[in-house]
Structure 1
Amino acid sequence: MDIADGQTVTNLDISDYLPGNLQFVQVVSTSPAATCGTPAQHHHARRQSGLHLRFGDRHDGHIRRHGAFPFYVPLNDAGSNPVINASTGDDVQCINQAGALGDWTPLDPRDLGGVDNASAGGSGDPPEHILGCKSIAIQKSVANLTDSTNSPGDVLEYTLNFQVSDFFAFQNVIIDDLASDGQHFQSSFAPTLQVKRLHRRLPLRRSERGPGRYPNNDVTISGDVLNNANLIPTGNSEADTSAPGANIAQGSLEKTIYAKNGVACAPQPCSAVRGRRAIPSPIACGTHPTSDFEQFSMEDFVPLPVFSATEVTP
């Protein structure tokens, strides 16, 4: 949480009202030190659970306040109902609301101070975080193994990380990863599969081509949901998708005034100019790091009537 520069707030309370489908574990850290407990009953509260942090000292806008804590998605919510439907495995949104309340001491004496006169977030405001709770999930990332700039011929390694919830079982799990146009699978590379509990990792390598392209690589994981008790198919399937991209470097174009009345400016570029001056105003075309061009042309639209271009000298 941030406080505006120069402003002072005391008795600052930050509350995270975890929804019934998320389970709080413990406080890991706070900065600065805070007293931890359950949310106070004030106008922010939607439900009496979650985490409450009391920063009792004086606070101003020069220090950022935060608290860190782990949580997880349980099998059943606070009402003993399944968080995710056991038959369909469909995604569920876990909506997390937070709020802050404190005593603000105004800088302007015309503003009135008071107790709990500064608030942020809470009931009625958009949620601070929405988590997609899933029975099966996949994430795809990309890394350039050649250099720091994506260019044709570089080798990119895509990594697929996928998980199955502790409370679900699947069969006929399929990962469908379609390479976008302009990429070629590196046939000499043998993909490997690593399994860590229910976490899987699968790297793939491809080479890139073409400037200025943003090769989206959609991947989909899907599977048939099983009854977790007897592993009999429920007749439903569930899927998840991911799609990273790698922006391929391309050239740049810039325009500067480099001379006045035939005399190059020092330093560059030229600063302010007066009327009726001969001002060569070139287009400086930057490098094209990823390709070559044919029939290349540039157009310059000078601001009329301020600049009157009567001669073009390459």
Structure 2
Amino acid sequence: MSTEMRLGDDGDISGTASQQDKKRPFLDALVSILKSKTSLIGLIIIVLLLLVAVFAPLLAPSNPISGGDLFNRYKGPSADHWLGTDELGRDILSRLIYGTRISIQVGIIAVGIALVIGTFLGAISGFFGRWIDMIVMRIVDILMSFPSILLAIAIVAVMGKGLTNTMIAVGIVGIPQFARIVRSSVLSVKETEYVEAARAVGAKSYRVLFRHVLPNCLAPIIVQTTLSIGTAILDAAGLSFLGLGAQPPKPEWGAMLDAGRAALQTAPWVVIFPGLAILVTVLGFNLLGDGLRDALDPRTKK
């Protein structure tokens, strides 16, 4: 299908294609996700987690912080406490429900930091090239030379313990992945005919980049964002398990694992259920991310 090109008043190159045609790739991606069993499972898991996070006060049987009873510490799953109690007699189910809020918050904020900074660095690096590309990519190479968890530990050790610093550290660790993906996409898109046409009619560089190049790099960015949320939640839980992330008495899943490891043999439910919560959450984002990648990548379509 041919598209007639026209020059706008502000120097933009646009076509006569309808808004429906522009939205079709994402509509097709949604249909593909709904048709894929694994992707649909991931989507259902994420929706359920979001609902649990939003309605936590209504779903939690008791207060996750001050609802403990030392006479009921390390009680196994029962009708009163479906998932048992922890070392202070607090209801594990309530702490898991409120922990969903913390984990979702950590994933969104940490990935948001990586997304904004990484996309900006990758965009200017790939679009302008030359010395900008060299400087940005060398910084990215240095960051990627460290194992992600060790780099996050080093950042938190410098900034101090706490959930806020953990989100910043995990966000910084994720910047190189976004920068490389966006840079490679920009390098490909900026050589297309419509970008050259926009330059030919005198559109400014920043307008070409943000109006014509970046919007056509959304597919890999969306996929990377979805996959990175699961990784960010896992990294934050790891830092909390090491005592560097969320501090007691916050009901964060990694901190719950750390607090319960001393009673692993006598009260295994204290670590089993937080571990399963982390597993299911990360699995949900990974399944949805894989489905988005298959749906948005034209090379995987028959």
What is the TM-score when the length of structure 2 is the normalising length? 0.22
Structure with higher strand content: 1
User: Which is bigger in relative contact order (C-alpha 8 A, separation at least 6)?
Assistant: 2
Structure with higher helix content: 2
Q: Which has the larger radius of gyration?
A: 1
What is the TM-score when the length of structure 1 is the normalising length? 0.21
